[in-house]
Amino acid sequence: MKPLIIVNYKTYQESSGKNAISLTLKLHQISKKLRDYSLAIAPQVVDLKEISKKNGVLLLAQAMDSITYGANTGKILPESIKESGAKGTLINHSENPLPDEEIKKQTEICRRLKLISVVCAFNLTSLRTVLSFKPDYVAYEPKELIGGNVSVTSAKGHTIREAIQLAKEKKVKLLLGAGVHSLNDIKEAVKLGADGVLISHALVKASNPERFFRI
C-alpha cells in the first residue's frame, strides 16, 4: 500500500470556497502523476458536496459529530458526511479537540457507516488513548509544531519512534503531521516507518503545488 498524504484544507483562504475547488483540481492532476504516494484531501465540510463532483482523490471531512438524525442544530450528521461523497473524516484535530468519549463514539460511527477514521493525537498520552479505539489511522501531530516550519520528522525523533511502535503494536496505520513542509520531510516520515503524513499550510499555500512534489 502506498504511503498516504492527507492535505488538510483547514479554513485557509487559499483552500476555501472557489479556491478549494481550484486547489482540488490541481491536486487531482498531481495525484495522477504521483507514483509513490496516494493523495487525500480534507476540505471544510461546507465545501465537500461541490468538491466531490469534481474530485478524483480520496475525500475526507475535517470533522463530524456523534449524532443521529433529529434535532441537533448546528451539528454535523455523519450520514450527511457520507452522502456528501466523503469517504471518511478527521477526528480530534488539535484545533478542534474532543473528549475521549466523543472520539470513541465517532470512531464507532465510522466503523458502522464504513467511513475511514483518522484520529489525531497531539502527544503520546493521547495517542495511547485513541489507539485503544482502533481507528483506521492515527495521526500523530505534536501541537507545538503545527503551522510552523520545523517538521515533526526532524524535531521529535524519540517520540516518533515510540509513536510508530505503539501504533504497530495495535496494528493501526500511523500518519505523522505538523510542520511537514517538503517532499524530503514526507520521505523521511516514511523512512521512519510512518504510513504517510497529514500536511496543511506548506501545500495549501504553495504557489505551485506541482513544484512541491517536484513533478
Catalytic machinery residues:
93, 141
- In the chain, what is the straight-line distance between the N-terminal and C-terminal CA atoms, in Å? 21
**Residue whose CB is less far from ligand G3P, 14 or 79:** 14
Q: Smallest Cα–Cα separation from 185: which of 215, 165, 212? A: 212
Cα–Cα distance measured from residue 31 to residue 38, given in angstroms and rounded to the nearest whole number:
7
Distance in Å, CB of 44 to ligand G3P, minimum: 13
The residues that touch ligand G3P, with contacts defined as CB under 6 A, are 8, 93, 141, 146-147, 177-180, 198-202
Contact 196, 206 (CB under 8 A): no
**Residue whose CB is less far from ligand G3P, 64 or 202:** 202
**Residue whose CB is less far from ligand G3P, 8 or 66:** 8
Cell numbers that stand for 208 in this block: 505551485
Q: Smallest Cα–Cα separation from 48: which of 104, 108, 88? A: 88
